[in-house]
A and B are shown apart, each in its own frame.
Chain A
Amino acid sequence: MVDLTRRSALGYTSLALSVCGGASAVLAATNVKVLAGKSVLILAPDESFTRDVASALTTHGANVTVVSPAELTDDAWGAALLTGARKPGKSDVVVNLCMPRGGGAVGEIGLAEFRRVLEASYGRAFLGVKYGIMYLRAHGGGSLVNVTSADGLQGNPKAAAASAASSGMIIMTKSAALECAAAGDNIRANGLFVGDVVRGKPKQGQVTVEDVAAAIAFLSADAASYFTGVVLPVENGGMPL
């Protein structure tokens, strides 16, 4: 269960996490504390998906903090992560959660709606990558994992803007990986592209928050220190269920 303590207008959320009851069958089978001793900072819009991912990450041994800057501005993100009075302490892993939604079909939406979706999703994703990297640099480096929708891997006739935002994350992740490697700043940047995530009991083939957390743990593990610029799809090979 997750005990949420809401703090400040900056959207800083301190999570006191403890996991009660049994973890999922998959985690029980895995049963490896890949993130033991590591702190994970999740940059996310304030929603229940974030809390569930945070909770699942604790089963891999991580201490989790969530930061949700309220406004899509450099000032708000800089204050929340780098300069504000309540900027978070050192974390080894930054998870930039961004699951774009909406937009409709290309032939149905206007430019204003397209821009709205792109700003809310891709714009937020950019700030997450930028300030995630700046935050990790300030703390000596670490692992950045961008988590976005698998809509970016192929077209979606019902969500053109959201698909565009997700697909942009492929190259933004690779660009960030190359930029960090060239800077020699001890930051690895990888991406996770997940299919529809269900809460609660999944039907066969459905992705759960535990699956997302396991992949984040893998990409951020010390054993994966050779890897950067990886784009990992978690979506059953793109095939319909």
Chain B
Amino acid sequence: MSFKNATPEEAGSLANLSGKVALVTGATSGIGEGVALALAFAGAYVVATGRDEKRGRETVRQIEAGKGKGHFDKLDVTVEDDWKRVVADIQKRFGRLDVLVNNAGRGVRGPIETIPMEGHWFEIHLNIEGAFLGMTYAWPIMKKNGGGVVFNMNSTAGQRGGSGSICYGGSKGGMLGLTKSAAAAGRKDGIRVISIHPGNTWSPGMQALVEVSEDEFFSKDRNRSIPAGMPARAADVAVPIVFLASDAARHITGIEFNIDGGQSAR
């Protein structure tokens, strides 16, 4: 077996993040859930956030089942008051925030001529402004404690575009510029900002989009353009995040890290 997908436990074994506090948005399912689990398994205290309280509590249950620590807090990343409340609560409870994962995001798909202006604004609000608000409110608390790490969940569509998702690619391209500028600004404040670019990754959101079974999504025929021969799983996205969140990666910032089984090497 050549290439293989990671599990959240394996991702969590890459670094010791004990003593660190992490906030993950969109932690209620998919990639966000996998990242929240892996960070917790690496020893970080995880504030798992999202709009769906029931699914958020399920993420926390899995964290605790794996001997990790964390809690759920309700957060819609497009609502500024939510950010104020959640970050103030973190300040009160822990006095620190070491890792922010701006993960919440979604794509509007369809031919360009069918996408209404609302579709464009939806992507801008969710993908760009969500990350902007997250950094705006996390920055002071990170800066005060000597630094931190921000991960902005992008996509290979943010680097190369993607057919059938013009607004998604556009918003992710904007998000990449936002991330690079934040990384430059973070230099003097000790805050590292990193862009994460998953390619085809299995998640409930992806399943709803592609409308195929898990077996079909992982089939050899469907993944011939991926050198690794298979799509990613949520835990594969967590692998670089766990390492890059650790102090051992203190000189790594402003980069684009692809989770695409070697696809972008072409």
Among B192, B228, B249, B264, point to the contact of A215 (Cβ < 8 A).
Answer: B249
- Report whether A218 and B227 are in contact in the complex, using a CB–CB cutoff of 8 Å: no
- Report whether B3 and A188 are in contact in the complex, using a CB–CB cutoff of 8 Å: yes
**Known A224-B239, A227-B239, A229-B265; contact A181-B228, beta-carbon cutoff 8 A:** yes
The interface size bin for chain B is: 35 or more
Give CA–CA (A227, B261) in the complex, Å.
Answer: 5
- Report whether A229 and B10 are in contact in the complex, using a CB–CB cutoff of 8 Å: no
Shortest distance from the beta carbon of B76 to any chain A beta carbon, whole Å: 31
- Report whether B232 and A237 are in contact in the complex, using a CB–CB cutoff of 8 Å: no
Residue B266 interfacial (CB < 8 Å):
yes
- Report whether B10 and A237 are in contact in the complex, using a CB–CB cutoff of 8 Å: no
Chain A 143-165 interface 0/1 with B at a Cβ cutoff of 8 Å (1 = within):
00000000000000000000000
- Report whether B227 and A226 are in contact in the complex, using a CB–CB cutoff of 8 Å: no
- Report whether B15 and A184 are in contact in the complex, using a CB–CB cutoff of 8 Å: no
Residue B4 interfacial (CB < 8 Å):
yes
Contacts of A187 in B (CB 8 A): 2
Most buried by B among A184, A187, A223, A225: A223
**Known A30-B15, A184-B2, A238-B254; contact A226-B248, beta-carbon cutoff 8 A:** no
- Report whether A229 and B262 are in contact in the complex, using a CB–CB cutoff of 8 Å: yes
Residue B246 interfacial (CB < 8 Å):
yes
User: What residue in chain A is nearest B188 (Cβ atoms)?
Assistant: A239
- Report whether B265 and A237 are in contact in the complex, using a CB–CB cutoff of 8 Å: no
User: What residue in chain A is nearest B228 (Cβ atoms)?
Assistant: A226
Interface members, chain A 186-241 (any B CB < 8 Å):
186-188, 195, 205, 207, 210-211, 214-215, 218, 221-230, 232-239
- Report whether B3 and A225 are in contact in the complex, using a CB–CB cutoff of 8 Å: yes
- Report whether A234 and B251 are in contact in the complex, using a CB–CB cutoff of 8 Å: yes
Residue A125 interfacial (CB < 8 Å):
no
- Report whether B255 and A233 are in contact in the complex, using a CB–CB cutoff of 8 Å: yes
**Known A32-B13, A178-B227; contact A226-B239, beta-carbon cutoff 8 A:** yes
Shortest distance from the beta carbon of B151 to any chain A beta carbon, whole Å: 14
Residue B79 interfacial (CB < 8 Å):
no
Chain B 2-35 interface 0/1 with A at a Cβ cutoff of 8 Å (1 = within):
1111100011011110000000000000000000
- Report whether B14 and A225 are in contact in the complex, using a CB–CB cutoff of 8 Å: no
Among B16, B232, B264, B266, point to the contact of A226 (Cβ < 8 A).
Answer: B232
**Known A181-B262, A229-B265; contact A29-B227, beta-carbon cutoff 8 A:** no
User: What residue in chain A is nearest B184 (Cβ atoms)?
Assistant: A239
User: What residue in chain B is nearest A225 (Cβ atoms)?
Assistant: B4
Give CA–CA (A188, B3) in the complex, Å.
Answer: 8
Residue A27 interfacial (CB < 8 Å):
yes
Residue B253 interfacial (CB < 8 Å):
yes
Among A207, A228, A238, point to the contact of B228 (Cβ < 8 A).
Answer: A228
Residue B85 interfacial (CB < 8 Å):
no
Residue B187 interfacial (CB < 8 Å):
yes
Contacts of B261 in A (CB 8 A): 226-228
Shortest distance from the beta carbon of A137 to any chain B beta carbon, whole Å: 12
Interface members, chain B 226-256 (any A CB < 8 Å):
227-230, 232, 236, 239-240, 243, 246-255
- 24 A-B residue pairs with Cβ-Cβ distance under 8 Å, sorted by A, are A27-B248, A30-B246, A174-B265, A175-B265, A185-B2, A186-B1, A186-B2, A207-B251, A214-B246, A218-B14, A218-B249, A223-B6, A224-B239, A226-B3, A226-B6, A226-B259, A227-B240, A227-B262, A229-B227, A229-B265, A234-B249, A234-B251, A237-B187, A237-B255
| A interface residue numbers (CB < 8 A to B) | 25-27, 29-32, 34, 141, 174-175, 177-178, 181-182, 184-188, 195, 205, 207, 210-211, 214-215, 218, 221-230, 232-239
Top 7 nearest A-B pairs by Cβ distance? A229-B265, A237-B254, A181-B227, A174-B265, A214-B248, A229-B262, A223-B10
